[in-house]
Amino acid sequence: MEQLTPTQRTTIKRIPKRGNYEYETVYKILDEGLVCHVGFVVDNQPFVIPTAYGRIEDKLYIHGSPASRMLRSLQGGIQVCLTVTLIDGLVLARSAFHHSMNYRSVVIFGTAEVVSDPEEKLQALYAFTEHVIPGRWEEVRQPNQNELAGTLVLALPLLEASAKVRTGAPLDDEADYSLPVWAGEIPLRVVADKPINDSRLQPGIVPPPHVQNYNRQKK
Amino acid sequence: MEQLTPTQRTTIKRIPKRGNYEYETVYKILDEGLVCHVGFVVDNQPFVIPTAYGRIEDKLYIHGSPASRMLRSLQGGIQVCLTVTLIDGLVLARSAFHHSMNYRSVVIFGTAEVVSDPEEKLQALYAFTEHVIPGRWEEVRQPNQNELAGTLVLALPLLEASAKVRTGAPLDDEADYSLPVWAGEIPLRVVADKPINDSRLQPGIVPPPHVQNYNRQKK
C-alpha cells in the first residue's frame, strides 16, 4: 500500500501505534470530514480557522473571498498546519483516568499555493462542492466569470501528512476490571435530518435524491 | 447580557454580522463541542492538534500526559489559539457560489497556565469528564495520586474570545430565485448509537442511564 514518508513533523510521538502513514487512510479521513482547521502564524500569533475544503488526488483545496485574512496570509507562502478530525465514539473506562475517545484525524504540514490556472480553479470548485454533497454540482448554476474572479483558491500538497486513529474498547488497569462499573463504547456519528425547503422555491420543486438521501456515511 | 470585549484579534472581520461576543453564546458552543483544535507555534511552525476539554466558568481546561509535545510547549506560556466548531447543516443554494454551511464556532486567544493546585486540578478533571458525559464521574474510579501526578492540566482564561454563527436559509442572487433548482438546508447533528459493552464486564452490569440516554443535545 502506498505510504507517505514520515518526517520529523509528521511522526506520531505520543502513542505511536495510533499513527498511520498510508495514503488510503489519509484520503478516507479527508473525504469524510466536512471542515478542516487551518493553523497559521501572523506576527508570532497562531490562528486556527475552520473552513470547508475539497480534495483532488494529492492536493487539498481551500477557498474563500480574496478579502479573507486567512487566505491573504496563506497566499504569501507561509507555513500551514491543516487538521481534520472525526469523532467516532466515546470510550468509557472503569476509571476516570482511562476515559478516551475513538477518533480519526489527519494533520498536514506545508505551504499553500494560489491556483491561478482557470481550469484547475474550476476543477477545485467542482471538487469542493462534490466533497460536501455529491451530485450537487450538475444541478446548480455554475460559477460565472465574476464569481470565479471573486474566489481565491489555494492548494496544499498532501506530501507531509499523517493520520492518527484510535478504535475499539477501553483499556483499564488490570485491577479495575473487577469493579462493578459499566465500561464500553458509545458510537457517535453525524446524521442528516429532513431537508428544509427554502421559502422561495419555484412551484413543484422537491428535494432531489442527492439531498433526500444525503448521508455522511463512514467508509 | 454579559459581553466579552472584542480585541483586534477577536473582532470578526469577514461577515461581521455573524460575530457574537456574548458569554452565553460562547459558553453554549463550548459546552456542546467535544473536541477543540489547539493552535500553537514552535520554531515558526504552526501546529493544530485536536484534544478534548472541559470548562469551569471562564476557564477552559485541557489535559494530557506531561510527555505531550503540545502540553510541554503550551506550559511555557506561549500564545495559543483554541477553536471549537459545530456544524449544524449544509446550506444549499441555487448557484454553486452561494453554497455555505450553518455552523457555530468559538475562537479563543491567550496563554495557558499549568494548574498546580491539587484541588483545582481535581475539579478540572471532574469538569473534563462531566463535559464529555454528564453523570459519569460519580460512577467510576476516581484518579489516584499516581494518575493525578501523571496528568498535566492547563487552564486557558476565556478573556479574549469570540463566537461566529451562521443560521438559516441560503442567500441567492436575486436572478437565481427563478431557477428550477431545489434550495434549502440539510440539518446535521451528532447522534449516539447503541452502547457497545466491553468484553470484560462483570456479570449483570448493564449500561446505566447516563450511557443509555446519552445525547449530545443541541441547546
Do residues B60 and B158 touch, judged by C-beta distance below 8 A?
Answer: yes
Which one, of A6, A49, A67, lies nearest residue B81 by Cα? Answer: A49
pLDDT band for A101, please (50, 70, 90 cuts). Answer: very high
Using a cut of 0.90, tell me whether the model's pTM lies above it. Answer: yes
Which residues in A lie closer than 8 A to residue B186 (C-beta atoms)?
Answer: 133, 192-193, 195-196, 211, 214
pLDDT tens-place string over residues A34-52: 999 999 999 999 999 999 9
pLDDT tens-place string over residues A156-196: 999 999 999 999 999 999 999 999 999 999 999 999 999 99
Between CA A203 and CA A146, with CA A130 as vertex, the angle to 5 degrees is 75
Sequence spans of domains, chain A: 16-212
CATH topology of domain A16-212: Pnp Oxidase; Chain A (2.30.110)
CATH topology of domain B16-172+183-189: Pnp Oxidase; Chain A (2.30.110)
Rounded CA gap, A41 and A73, in Å?
8
Q: Is the dihedral of CA B40, B43, B46, B49 positive or negative?
A: negative
pLDDT tens-place string over residues B76-88: 899 999 999 999 9
Between CA A39 and CA A49, with CA A43 as vertex, the angle to 5 degrees is 25
Q: Is the pLDDT of residue A138 over 70?
A: yes
> Which pLDDT score is estimated for A216?
86
Contact B179 A151 (CB under 8 A): no
Whether A179 contacts chain B with CB within 8 A? yes
Residue B43's contacts (CB-CB under 8 Å, 6 or more residues apart) are none
Rounded CA gap, B148 and A168, in Å?
25
Contact B81 A184 (CB under 8 A): no
> Which pLDDT score is estimated for A148?
95
pLDDT tens-place string over residues B80-121: 999 999 999 999 999 999 999 999 999 999 999 999 999 999
A177/chain B closest Cα distance in angstroms: 7
* ipTM greater than 0.85: yes
pLDDT tens-place string over residues B137-162: 999 999 999 999 999 999 999 999 99
Whether B206 contacts chain A with CB within 8 A? yes
pLDDT tens-place string over residues B5-16: 999 889 988 888
> Which pLDDT score is estimated for B218?
55
Nearest-by-Cβ selection for A9 from B40, B45, B101: B45
Nearest-by-Cβ selection for A47 from B81, B141, B185: B81
Q: Provide the grid cell at A80.
A: 500551514
Nearest-by-Cβ selection for B105 from A50, A85, A202: A50
Whether B51 contacts chain A with CB within 8 A? no
B156/chain A closest Cα distance in angstroms: 15
Whether B193 contacts chain A with CB within 8 A? yes
Interface A-B: count of C-beta contacts within 8 A: 283
